[in-house]
Amino acid sequence: MSQIIIDSVAKVFATSRKRTVALNETSLTIDDNELVCVVGPSGCGKTTMLNLIAGFIRPTVGSIKLDGREIEGPSAERAVVFQADAVFPWLTVADNIAFGPRMQGMTRSERTERVERFLDLVGLSEFANAYPKELSGGMRKRVDLARAYASGPEVLLLDEPFGALDLFTKEAMWSALKRVADAEPKTIVFVTHDIEEALFLGDRVIVMTPRPARVHSVIDVPFGPERTLDLRADPEFQAIRIQIADALREVHDDTA
């Protein structure tokens, strides 16, 4: 089980001159193996929430628990993928993916099997011996995703991982993430500014509002795991996209 329970959490950053409420009295349950997408304008606490779950920072008030255990700091059970690449430039694609399993003490045969599995899932089998400098931005992001997954975390946290990619590369990454998540389900929290990205990937979409930074609304996504890019032409998809856009517009109007 990898259920995340955020219980009345607030995060305040304070200096001698300023007090900033980055997240305000937020409660949310993210179920085991659920993929939740978090959207909202800048300053609404999306990344703060992700960093709290990662254990990079601690709540000022409240608690965050994973499997009933309070999160008190970073752990290998929670992997993070950032917008910027986090691959090792001096290692090949295969060695990048094998790094986590090697640190965990997996045998050579176990590492090889795991690397081959994720190379296949992200479509990089023929680039196993290439170095990151030889890859495109989208391919490096595939390495990033496979590297995080291959370590076997319970929870995967993604902070706008595809934000810097062009549209077609981003769409390919949506499909790659869906393949990996379907093959090896995990609890995933995905922060994005892209409504279609959130709706295509998510089981639920969390809309955040700034000032105070908190959860504004939670929107259930009714589509099953078998999703293709053609789903975006579905009238129900477009209706929910408009619902999310309206919620974000309401958030903007309330804080303008």
pLDDT band at residue 252 under the 50/70/90 scheme: low
> Which three-class secondary structure string do you get for the chain?
CCCEEEEEEEEEEECCCCEEEEEEEEEEEECCCCEEEEECCCCCCHHHHHHHHHCCCCCCEEEEEECCEECCCCCCCEEEECCCCCCCCCCCHHHHHHHHHHHCCCCHHHHHHHHHHHHHHCCCHHHCCCCHHHCCHHHHHHHHHHHHHHCCCCEEEEECCCCCCCHHHHHHHHHHHHHHHHHCCCEEEEECCCHHHHHHHCCEEEEEECCCCEEEEEEECCCCCCCCHHHHHCHHHHHHHHHHHHHHHHHHHHHC
Residue 254 contacts by C-beta under 8 Å, 6 or more apart in sequence? Answer: 209
pLDDT band at residue 41 under the 50/70/90 scheme: confident
Summarize pLDDT for 179-207 with one digit per residue, the tens: 898 888 999 999 998 999 999 999 999 99
Residue 16 contacts by C-beta under 8 Å, 6 or more apart in sequence? Answer: none
pTM: 0.91
Domain ranges of the chain: 4-77+155-255, 86-152
Summarize pLDDT for 71-89 with one digit per residue, the tens: 999 998 999 998 888 889 9
Query: What per-residue confidence (pLDDT) applies to 254?
Result: 59
Instruction: Give me the residues paired with residue 157 across strands.
Output: 80, 189
Give the whole-angstrom CA distance, residue 33 versus residue 43.
Answer: 28
Topology of the domain covering 4-77+155-255: Rossmann fold (3.40.50)
